[in-house]
């Protein structure tokens, strides 16, 4: 998956972190394709915010992942291989950026507890 680089997401009341290896500049910044619009951070986060109304979102991290065809059920395996053959956009492999994930996760305590982690956790 690629994420289209776009304007900063200011409409959300939570912090966002995007893996720097994930975002791609649009082909034409003045006119996004439908694929690029569907891969804007705001497009992806809007339904998350809508369906997570029972909780207060504090921070969202968006990172590349891992895809192993043999771990998929047969129908999904065929679908992903078809996507790969047609669009060349679902390669098998482990693209997780552990440094970026750890950095985001390391900031969660201060995001959750407002900066005073010791007082909030009792440590």
Q: What is the pLDDT along the chain (123 residues), one digit of tens a residue?
A: 678 887 655 556 788 888 888 888 888 878 888 888 888 888 888 888 888 778 888 888 989 889 898 899 999 999 988 888 887 777 788 989 999 999 999 999 988 887 665 555 555
Measured CA to CA, the distance from residue 23 to residue 20 in angstroms comes to: 6
- Look at the pTM and tell me if it is higher than 0.75: no
The domain segmentation of the chain, as residue ranges, is: 3-65+96-121
3-state DSSP percent of the chain in helix, strand and coil, to 5: 45, 15, 40
Give the alpha-carbon dihedral of 32, 38, 40, 42, to 10 degrees.
120
Measured CA to CA, the distance from residue 71 to residue 53 in angstroms comes to: 32
Which secondary-structure segment (H or E) carries 108? Answer: helix 98-113
Q: What is the pLDDT of residue 97?
A: 92
């Amino acid at each position: 998956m690629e994420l289209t680089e776009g304007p900063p997401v200011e409409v959300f009341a939570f912090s966002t972190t995007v893996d720097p290896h994930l975002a791609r500049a649009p082909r034409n910044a003045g006119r996004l394709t439908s694929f690029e619009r569907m891969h804007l951070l705001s497009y992806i986060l809007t339904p998350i915010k809508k369906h997570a109304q029972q909780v207060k979102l504090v921070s969202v991290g968006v990172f590349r992942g891992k895809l192993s065809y043999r771990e998929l059920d047969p129908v999904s395996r065929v679908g992903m291989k078809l996507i790969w053959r047609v669009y060349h956009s679902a390669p098998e492999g482990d693209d997780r950026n552990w440094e970026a994930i750890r950095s985001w996760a390391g900031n969660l305590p201060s995001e959750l507890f407002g900066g005073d982690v010791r007082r909030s956790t009792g440590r």
